[in-house]
Amino acid sequence: MKLHQGWPKATPLFDDDNLVSCGGLVPVMELAEQAGLSELLADRVSIKSSLVASAGANPAGKVASIIAGMTAGADSIDDLDIVRSGGMKQVFDHVYAPATLGQFLRSFTHGHVAQLASVARAHLVNLTERTDLLAGIEHQAFIDIDSLLRPVYGHAKQGASYGHAKIAGRSLLRKGLSPLVTTISTPTSAPAVAGTRLRAGKAGSGKAAASMVTEAIRTTRACGATGKILLRGDSAFGTSKVVNACIDAGVEFSVVLAQNNAVAAAISRIGDDAWQSVHYPGAVLDPDNGNLISDAEVAEIPYTAFARNNPVTARLIVRRVRDRAKDQELFPVWRHHPFFTNSTEPVTVADITHRRHAIVETVFADLIDGPFAHMPSGRFAANHAWAICASMAYNLLRATDSLAPRTHSDMPVPACGSTLRRQIINVPARLARPQRRPVMHLPAHWPWAERWLRIWDRVFATATGPPVTV
């Protein structure tokens, strides 16, 4: 592309009150309202005392402004000003300045955060009923739990401390805050965030995990899960409390066990003839002999974990792979990866199902590419509220995507948050009112106009008429 002649001498003016840069927020925030966002906030969040007298007023409008800004790509409090640009005030009521929203977040206490968390859970349930966000949840649901460390800088961050993180495969100490996240997914849907709990950076990955699991199970059932539910987690969550919380709630578990002498002894008792090759999705066959190029094998053995208190007997499934760093050895050297489960799937299928726990990393990637890029406040409770608002914005984007999903081979293909913002949310529009009827003029030849209009039609009644795209 080359600039037309004369344009280098043009005069840019930011002066049009009838232009909005985020036209896609109109159907998205209407979807949030149809799922009861304002009503839930008004009923459940009440901030009666704060350093600034008016800071806690109208929590419904302020939380909605924060979520709208996050949905449009804001990753700091200052970036929330995007919801006030151009003609946004002609489209939305209760649009607040970043300074007001910052004061509001700093008014939160632990109790207010708990109120906001209950809103997030109820809003997820309502979005599930209104859209295909968790399609197929009545047959099979997966709950995944994991934590991450978000780095922070400076000395004014409450709760910031040094915790363990992995960067490029290397473990190191990093100063930050540690969100613990649970997600819900199905075999045919992308994950939604069931709960978010912010902790100090030095907190162990499994701290408060059992209560988070119990809460996530209740939320999953409220979303319509009547069939099997499987909890998946890594070694930080292979604990007696987490496993027994699953058993008490009547759900299956699939968690990694930390390797110790008892686990090593159980692995050594597995016979050589018990190992089976596992065919992972996308695995490659050797063209010469037709065998899998991957040498991964799985086997299982009954095992009693947590023998000292609350013992649980279930299946210890072990995945082993050749250690290619020692390919000149006299006998094969194997690396073993055990996990503990009470699922009834065949051993090879159970291994594949467990390894899909990695889907939670896609949620983290989306959040880090958005609101989790920063923990914007010095106050711990404010950052906790910010993290919960981020999960609500994430779920809202996922629900919007489910209204008109992209398909490949007749299967829905979920889009990541940055793609949704680029194609659906951050669409420029010019506002007009011919004959007092609101019209949004969107760019002609917008590559994703058809999908955009399908979302509009799913959110609004067709009698309102679609926006003009010519």
H or E stretch covering 203: none
Q: What is the pLDDT of residue 288?
A: 56
At 206, is the secondary structure helix, strand, or coil? coil
DSSP state of 468: B
Among residues 289, 317, 338, which one ends one of the domains? 338
Q: What is the pLDDT of residue 464?
A: 47
Q: What is the pLDDT of residue 470?
A: 41
pLDDT in tens, 43-53: 999 988 777 77
Clarify whether residues 34 and 116 are in a common domain. yes
Clarify whether residues 31 and 123 are in a common domain. yes
Q: pLDDT tier at 466 (50, 70, 90 boundaries)?
A: very low
Clarify whether residues 331 and 383 are in a common domain. no
User: Does this model's pTM top 0.75?
Assistant: yes
- 340 within 8 A of 255, measured Cβ to Cβ: yes
Give the residue from 244, 241, 205, 247 showing the smallest Cα distance to 229: 247
Lowest mean pLDDT among 169-183, 288-302, 311-325, 369-383: 288-302
Clarify whether residues 323 and 409 are in a common domain. no
Please determine, for residue 329, whether its predicted confidence score (pLDDT) is greater than 80: no
% of the chain with per-residue pLDDT over 70: 92
Give the residue from 204, 277, 271 showing the smallest Cα distance to 241: 204
Q: What is the pLDDT of residue 370?
A: 93
Among residues 338, 359, 391, which one ends one of the domains? 338
Token digits of residue 333: 């050297």
328: Cβ contacts below 8 Å, ≥ 6 apart: none
Domain count, the chain: 2
Please determine, for residue 340, whether its predicted confidence score (pLDDT) is greater than 60: yes
Interatomic CA distance for residues 318 and 340, integer angstroms: 9
Mean pLDDT throughout 124-132?
Answer: 95
Note whether residue 434 is domain-resident.
yes
Note whether residue 113 is domain-resident.
yes
What phi, psi does 342 have (nearest 5°)? Answer: -115, 20
Interatomic CA distance for residues 381 and 109, integer angstroms: 6
Clarify whether residues 307 and 390 are in a common domain. no
Q: pLDDT tier at 408 (50, 70, 90 boundaries)?
A: low
Mean pLDDT throughout 214-236?
Answer: 96
- 69 within 8 A of 82, measured Cβ to Cβ: yes
399: Cβ contacts below 8 Å, ≥ 6 apart: 31, 35, 127, 130, 131, 133, 192
280: Cβ contacts below 8 Å, ≥ 6 apart: 294, 296, 352, 355
- For the purposes of burial, counting CB atoms within 10 Å of the CB of 232, is it exposed (0-12), middle (13-18) or buried (19 or more)? buried
Q: What is the pLDDT of residue 290?
A: 56
Clarify whether residues 26 and 119 are in a common domain. yes
pLDDT averaged over the chain? 89
Note whether residue 8 is domain-resident.
no
pLDDT in tens, 141-152: 999 999 999 999
Clarify whether residues 334 and 402 are in a common domain. no
Q: What is the pLDDT of residue 60?
A: 93
Note whether residue 212 is domain-resident.
no
Phi-psi group of 412: left, alpha or beta (phi > 0 → left; psi -120 to 50 → alpha; rest → beta): beta
Lowest mean pLDDT among 30-39, 163-172, 206-215: 163-172
Q: What is the pLDDT of residue 357?
A: 95
Q: What is the pLDDT of residue 104?
A: 94
At 338, is the secondary structure helix, strand, or coil? strand
Q: What is the pLDDT of residue 165?
A: 80
At 178, is the secondary structure helix, strand, or coil? strand
Token digits of residue 3: 């600039």
Please determine, for residue 168, whether its predicted confidence score (pLDDT) is greater than 80: no
Clarify whether residues 21 and 115 are in a common domain. yes
DSSP 137-173: TTTEEEEEEEE--EE--SS--TT-EEEEEEETTEEEE
Clarify whether residues 126 and 22 are in a common domain. yes
Lowest mean pLDDT among 204-218, 416-430, 450-464: 450-464
Q: What is the pLDDT of residue 293?
A: 54
Alpha helices in 282-359 (DSSP H): 347-355
Q: What is the pLDDT of residue 326?
A: 61
Clarify whether residues 384 and 464 are in a common domain. yes
pLDDT in tens, 227-284: 999 999 999 999 999 999 999 999 999 999 988 999 999 999 999 899 998 877 755 5
H or E stretch covering 233: strand 228-233
Clarify whether residues 326 and 389 are in a common domain. no
Q: What is the pLDDT of residue 407?
A: 72
Note whether residue 44 is domain-resident.
yes
Mean pLDDT throughout 293-321?
Answer: 89
Interatomic CA distance for residues 397 and 354, integer angstroms: 26
- 398 within 8 A of 414, measured Cβ to Cβ: yes
Mean pLDDT throughout 339-359?
Answer: 94
Give the residue from 62, 66, 56 showing the smallest Cα distance to 387: 66
Q: What is the pLDDT of residue 325?
A: 62
Strands (E), 257-296: 276-277
User: Of 406 and 326, which is predicted with more confidence?
Assistant: 406
Among residues 338, 359, 385, which one ends one of the domains? 338
Please determine, for residue 382, whether its predicted confidence score (pLDDT) is greater than 90: yes
270-290 exposure pattern, b = at least 16 Cβ within 10 A, e = fewer? beeeebeebeeeeeeeeeeee
Clarify whether residues 70 and 128 are in a common domain. yes
Note whether residue 207 is domain-resident.
no
Mean pLDDT throughout 376-404?
Answer: 95
Domain that holds residue 113: 15-132+377-470
Note whether residue 410 is domain-resident.
yes
User: Of 383 and 278, which is predicted with more confidence?
Assistant: 383
Alpha helices in 322-461 (DSSP H): 347-355, 360-368, 380-403, 417-420, 449-459
Note whether residue 264 is domain-resident.
yes
Q: What is the pLDDT of residue 283?
A: 57
